[in-house]
Structure 1
């Protein structure tokens, strides 16, 4: 087998010539990219007003975790002496970051879609304060979620374990913050938050969904909860559950936007893994149990069990 010997001087010159030959094409490529950005088919944001920062929103989520569960995820040790100081500092940072991102979101909508000025600075500050004011209520609801998870899961050794490590709880508390922003009509940020949780946990909860207390997602991977879903209190669902919409027409975006498309799940319902429940008129009645892998597109009365027939297994 012939071995090629590289001569340092010649090889370096050849490599340099190769790089130069290809780099000379870059200005032409840049011109083509910029030219294409002027076409309607290219989505871009080339403007003087900054758009929301996904990285900043993720940082806000990490900081919110510190004040929602004080001491669990703090960057430094918390004790009764430094608690107020540390909490005050973190809340101040969150306010500054959140108000800026809310303002950017509102301003982007105004400029991009030619909407009337909403006094975005004032609205950003006001909305950020409202989110922070809602933290005690969110903490109380999350406490009920943690307790329900512990009571229903023999594998959980403690509530601390659930707070530290359960993906279902992470997805739910991010949803509860995002839902508050959704209620305040803040663009972009609610969806950025829940999609961040989705990317980490595999649990897809739209921030517009209405979800009651003592809500538990067990295991969680593959769960989908659509925008207009209503979920009552003390509901438990397992992995692979879809609470979705029926197949939509091509122009559904305009026809069905802001209309009820996803099911209602009443109190004390259990939905086992792989179940699919579809449609805005579909109601799962109180205390019902939905078995695994079933497909439901019509309402179920209270105190009903819906199960698949026992499949015929073939052993060879």
Structure 2
């Protein structure tokens, strides 16, 4: 009898919690001016599977099946790509429905057409994405003396995984699926410790060495042959607000990094500043101003020095030690 009473008490408590959660959920929907059950968001679990399949289709010999032959590889790529794109299309369709609901539009068949169009355009970009990734791969191999082979970079380096996922996410972001792209970026962040917003524009031959703690903001622009080390931040200096006090979104607020730049571990570069071509940014530098091409920016304890064209120039108040 005592056991039954305990079960009943437990059940009553659970019912009360469920009821209270339902009331809070309904209030939240009302605040967001929604009625009924909200549309489904893209599935993180499904997107993880999509990323694995797309990676396998792009690099079947190393990230695909270990039993592939010359006769079976094209079949594997085609079959894997078909499954990945079908699932991706469903996730993009969910995003389209979600955006329609947010905008107060009717969720209709047109969302299927939009999702299918994004899927087709994305698929058409896959050869170009593979070509970019080949350049990234060779840049990593040639730039790291610890890399024994390009294959090792592909299967072992978190920086390479992050770049693969970013190239995929950026394409989807550009084609009109920013939520799916952002979820892919978050999956990449969880796997690699590297946080790259899918809106960031990154040129070929990009290499992130070690990588943990790297942050690259939404409007960052990175040129060719750029190398970053761990804990580098390309972030925003400030967040302007409009007359109502709401944060202004979408403005250019992250750095521009030109070709052939190296940024060493722990450097923080903030705001819409330009790092000139061929510049080297030393470890732990805190930078909020543009620097000319060829500069070497270091962070000694007593002073900061910029070397440009072989001439040393003191720049007080520009490079603060943090």
Partner of 1:261: 253
SS of the residue 1:38 aligns to: helix
State the 1:234 CA deviation.
0.2
Distance 1:95 1:247 in 2: 39
Q: Which runs of 5+ in 1 are unaligned?
A: 1-12
The reply on whether 1:37 has 2:29 as its aligned counterpart is no
Deviations 1:197-216 (A, max 9, x none): 10111100000000001100
What RMSD, in angstroms, separates the aligned Cα atoms of the two structures? 2.3
Q: Which runs of 5+ in 2 are unaligned?
A: 304-322
The answer to whether the 8 Å contact 1:106/1:187 transfers is: no
The answer to whether the 8 Å contact 2:232/2:265 transfers is: yes
Distance 1:115 1:208 in 2: 26
State the 1:117 CA deviation.
6.5
The reply on whether 1:154 has 2:142 as its aligned counterpart is no
Query: Which residue, 98, 118, 128 being the options, matches 1:137?
Result: 128
SS of the residue 1:243 aligns to: strand
Query: Which residue, 74, 98, 116 being the options, matches 2:64?
Result: 74
- Check 1:68–1:112 CA distance in 2 against 1; reply closer, same or farther (3 A cut): same
Partner of 1:222: 213
Distance 1:100 1:146 in 2: 31
Matches within 5 A, 1:201-212: 201-212=192-203
Deviations 1:234-291 (A, max 9, x none): 00010010000013256699553121000000000000000000002x0000000000
| TM-score (normalised: structure 1) | 0.88
Q: Which is greater in Rg?
A: 1
Distance 2:209 2:176 in 1: 30
Deviations 1:118-166 (A, max 9, x none): 8211111111111111111111111111111111111111111000010
The reply on whether 1:188 has 2:176 as its aligned counterpart is no
Partner of 1:174: 165
| TM-score (normalised: structure 2) | 0.87
Partner of 1:91: 81
